[in-house]
Amino acid sequence: MITRHRTRQLHVGNVAVGGDAPISVQSMTTTKTADVDGTLAQVYALAGAGADIVRITCNEVEAAQGLAEIVPRSPVPIIADIHYQYRLALAALEAGVQGLRLNPGNIRKEDQIKAVAREAKDRGVPIRVGVNAGSLDKDLLEKYGSPVPQALVDSALLEIRYLQDVDFEDIKISVKHSNVPSMIESYRLLSKTVDYPLHLGVTEAGPPPAGLIKSVAGIATLLNEGIGDTIRFSLTADPVEEAKAGRQLLENLGLRERKGLDLIACPSCGRAEVDVIDVATRAQTALEAENLPIQVAVMGCVVNGPGEAREADIGIAAGRGRGHLFIKGQVVRVVPESEMVEALLDEARKLVEEGVESRLAHAEANAAELAAAAREELIQIQGDANRSQDRRAKVAEVAKSD
């Protein structure tokens, strides 16, 4: 069980961040903000993929004007991303955004930062102090020689002081770095220094799969330590993939209720009776289209499949030309191998609609016997790869010896 660091709570629109609020998922649009319909379409896609909050660039007057139309039509709160021109932050506030992100590395004038803070305070809009290793203040770079963790934290603390000078306290902070160990250490240091909510991310992580691996390595490490209140995967990819990845990570860590599919599959081996990769890929595509909030297992054979994946809500394993469909480890149907994916999808729908007990009650009368027979047949043909009986006998021999 993860014990989270206690932080203050603020609200980005109707989404609570920090305190005991669920960790939220964020992403950012890649469209031109002036393209209102195109941007809104992407916002809706992100919300559908699991994003709780969406950030949109506000880099020109036309973008701020676009926000004025986007915000009231958005299904989730909108944060305006501001760089260099503080007046665009004021314009974004006028457009009705529910949050701002300011980069201390490129809005350096104290009076401008305070002007934005005063206006945000009047409107009840939080500000994220978004420190980025790639755009660190020149004075701090000169002092530390490189964007080391302490330099990122010092940048955040300086910006916070400007905000606090005008009694602004609705603050979130990020100290993003493209180097995973540096990112982790920056957030660890920051979490010991402040009690403001923290926004986690590995900046410029790159395209999948490397970008996903780096992001998970950094974000999951911190979340498991109880650090972090909101997250973003910064991938060189369709931002919908960011939202999906963020949501899945939180679900897999037990930090958010399952909303989408969790598909597990064996890595395959010489015992596999089917092309596990092909079946798993087709199953994932079909089940994701249904958006079913369940854990599904695809296993290569019936020898160990149902037992190994008994914790899955539903699964299927191949055996002697047939697919053995199981729920919570209990085989309930046997279908031709060619119909495995279709049968899995059909049973998954029914499972979600009716529940586990109902589907177990509808199990085919001889399904378990057919599965057991296929298992024994495979063991006779292929042998017991795990040498279960021999290993058990050896263990007992050792345990009983003087």
Q: pLDDT value at position 276?
A: 84
**For residues 171 and 399, what is the distance between their CA atoms, to the nearest angstrom?**
61
Per-residue tokens: 75: 């299904």
Over residues 157-212, the pLDDT tens digits come to 999 999 999 999 999 999 999 999 999 999 999 999 999 999 999 999 999 999 99
SS (H, E, C) 311-380: CCCEEEEEECCEEEEEECCEEEEEEEHHHHHHHHHHHHHHHHHHCHHHHHHCCCCCHHHHHHHHHHHHHH
Q: List, for residues 75-84, the tens digit of each pLDDT value.
A: 999 999 999 9
State the average pLDDT over residues 234-260. 93
94 phi and psi angles, rounded to 5 deg: -65, -30
Please give the average per-residue pLDDT across 14-41, as a whole number.
Answer: 97
> Is pLDDT at 125 greater than 60 in this prediction?
yes
Compute the average pLDDT of residues 308-334.
85
Per-residue pLDDT reduced to its tens digit, 86-119:
999 999 999 999 999 999 988 889 999 999 999 9
pLDDT of 211-233, one tens digit each?
999 999 999 999 999 999 999 99
Query: What average pLDDT does the chain have?
Result: 91
**If you search the block for the tokens 């980069």, which residue do you land on?**
103
- pLDDT computed for residue 375 by the predictor: 73
**Quick one: pLDDT at residue 376?**
76
Q: Number of helices (H) and strands (E), helices first, in the chain?
A: 15, 15
**What percent of the chain clears pLDDT 70, i.e. is strictly above it?**
94
Residue bearing the bigger pLDDT, 320 or 262: 262
Listed residue (184, 174, 229, 236) closest to 28, CA to CA? 236
Residue pLDDT, tens place only, 344-377: 999 999 999 999 999 999 988 888 787 777 777 7
Task: Read off the pTM.
Answer: 0.83
Decide: 8 and 16 in contact? Cβ < 8 Å.
Answer: no
Band of residue 5 on the pLDDT scale cut at 50, 70, 90: very high
Q: Report yes or no: 300 and 318 within 8 Å, Cβ to Cβ.
A: yes
For the cut 60, the answer to whether the pLDDT of residue 386 exceeds it is no
- Where helices occur in 261-328 by DSSP H, the ranges are 276-290, 305-308
Identify the pLDDT of residue 46.
Answer: 94
Per-residue b/e over 305-317, b at no fewer than 16 CB within 10 Å? bbebbeebbbbbb
Instruction: Quote the pLDDT of residue 309.
Output: 73
* pLDDT class of 389 with cuts at 50, 70, 90: low
pLDDT in tens, 33-53: 999 999 999 999 999 899 999
123 vs 137, more confident: 123
Please state, in angstroms and rounded to a whole number, the distance separating the CA atoms of residues 183 and 161.
22
Q: Does 270 score more than 80 pLDDT? A: no
Which residues are CB-contacts of 145 (< 8 A; sequence separation ≥ 6)? none
pLDDT at 359: 92
Q: Which domains does the chain carry?
A: 9-252 (3.20.20.20), 262-382 (3.30.413.10)
